Structure 1
Amino acid sequence: MKASANNRPQKLRRSSSGFTLIELMVTIAVLAIIVGIAAPNISTQLANQRVKSTASTLENALKEAKAESIIRRQNVTVAYSSVLNTIAITGRNNTVIATYNINSQSTVSQVITPATVTQVVFQPNKMVSGAGTEVVYTICDDGSTNETPKQVTVNKIANISVTNTGSC
């Protein structure tokens, strides 16, 4: 014989349905603890993703400029504007070829040798003019102190590389 809820006495039917207040409070407390543990890891992951995205954008802009200089057979300039958070690629007579927007929380600092040069000029002979040895862009994130910084480096022979080094 099967027992069903309808065959139970009225008193038992009311007390056995639903959750108690204590059960709900314990569940909410456990969820709060899990969120408290996971939140710092999520913010670090987001910061690392922003840095990775900005480094990828910068690398793509530099590679595009290198290819355009060869295709167009002219010098192509890459200039980073920290005020506008943009990378501009320009050709002959300052004709804009492309612009790239950088995440507003990303910080890009550039070190170009010699220090008087503020942009990278790719030549059609697959060399970089204006820069001495190399150009190093260090990418960090303003929103976090635990992110892994990245460096995008362009050397004299226009090789572009991305590494997980540097300090913010």
Structure 2
Amino acid sequence: MNASAKNVPHPLRMNSSGFTLIELMVTIAVLAIIVGIAAPSISTQLANQRVKSTAAMLENALKETKVESVIRRQALEFSFDDSTHSMVTKTKGVSPDEVASYSYSSKSIIKAGKSSITFNPSKRADAVVYNICDKNSSVTMQVIVTAVANISTAAGGTC
């Protein structure tokens, strides 16, 4: 390549190197259009992922509370507070001790008929359906707790 560049006269060699301002502006404009098209899709995907993450965290916290209740042989109360975006497991009784606490994304919303449920060592619990959604997404997940303390996750529900 150097041999062929040496054969070109000096004024032409200086004018033909690099990009013009117009070429750079067109490239930046095309990139801006592509980013503008992709941005809404990416934010929707992030919101959907937050819903799935919060549902998985809630399901795991409920399962841990159920197992801990059996191990400790005492009733445990699981509760959530959507204003502080936290979930807490406590022993049930006169002086409740905190067993575990969890926090979830401030953009996630959890709705349920009850804000707290009790898991008994006999593997029984209050039946509750939790609906999880996000402020920026239309996707909703459900975490279902049955009276026999079966815990499952399903798509659907309303917030």
- Note whether the superposition's TM-score is higher than 0.5: yes
Please point out which of 93, 108, 128 is paired with 1:135.
128
* Other-structure match for 2:32: 32
CA RMSD, Structure 1 to Structure 2 (Å): 1.4
* Alpha-carbon distance, 1:83 to partner: 2.2
Cα offsets for 1:69-107 (capped at 9, x unmatched): 100000011011122211000114311000000111111
* Alpha-carbon distance, 1:163 to partner: 0.8
* Alpha-carbon distance, 1:3 to partner: 4.1
In structure 2, list runs of 5 or more residues that go unmatched.
none
- TM-score when normalising by structure 1: 0.87
Percentage of pairs with the same residue: 53
Cα offsets for 1:1-46 (capped at 9, x unmatched): x842223101210111000112111111111111011101100011
User: Separation in 2 of the partners of 1:31 and 1:165?
Assistant: 37
- TM-score when normalising by structure 2: 0.92
In structure 1, list runs of 5 or more residues that go unmatched.
113-117
Aligned length, in residue pairs:
156
Q: Which runs of 4+ in 1 moved over 4 A?
A: none
User: Separation in 2 of the partners of 1:81 and 1:43?
Assistant: 26
SS across alignment from 1:104: coil
Q: Does the alignment pair 1:119 with 2:113?
A: no
